[in-house]
């Protein structure tokens, strides 16, 4: 299974589950009234190579 297939499936499942949760419906209808879309079409993926977990964590935490 390709990484793009995995990401696509994650986006599909999370969107479906949130829209099926009745607790979120009023908020969702307020902000997503035109279409039931959470995610953009694209995504970015890269390998981390030899980076250690601390370096990766620091990188993620320092993103804007």
Do 45 and 9 form a contact (C-beta atoms < 8 A)? no
Q: What is the DSSP letter of 62?
A: T
Q: What are the helix (H) ranges across the chain?
A: 3-20, 25-31, 53-61
SS3 8: helix
pLDDT at 10: 93
Residues spanned by the domain of 17: 3-61
Q: How far apart are CA 19 and CA 33, in angstroms?
A: 12
List the pLDDT tens digit at each of the 64 positions of the chain. 888 899 989 999 988 888 888 888 888 888 776 776 778 888 888 777 888 989 989 988 998 6
Give just the sign of the alpha carbon dihedral 6, 7, 12, 14: positive
């Amino acid at each position: 299974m390709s990484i793009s297939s995995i990401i696509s499936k994650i986006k599909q499942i999370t969107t479906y589950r949130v829209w099926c949760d009745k607790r979120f419906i009023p908020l969702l209808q307020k902000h997503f009234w035109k279409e039931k879309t959470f995610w953009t079409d694209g995504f970015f993926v890269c390998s981390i190579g030899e980076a250690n977990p601390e370096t990766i964590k620091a990188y993620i935490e320092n993103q804007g």
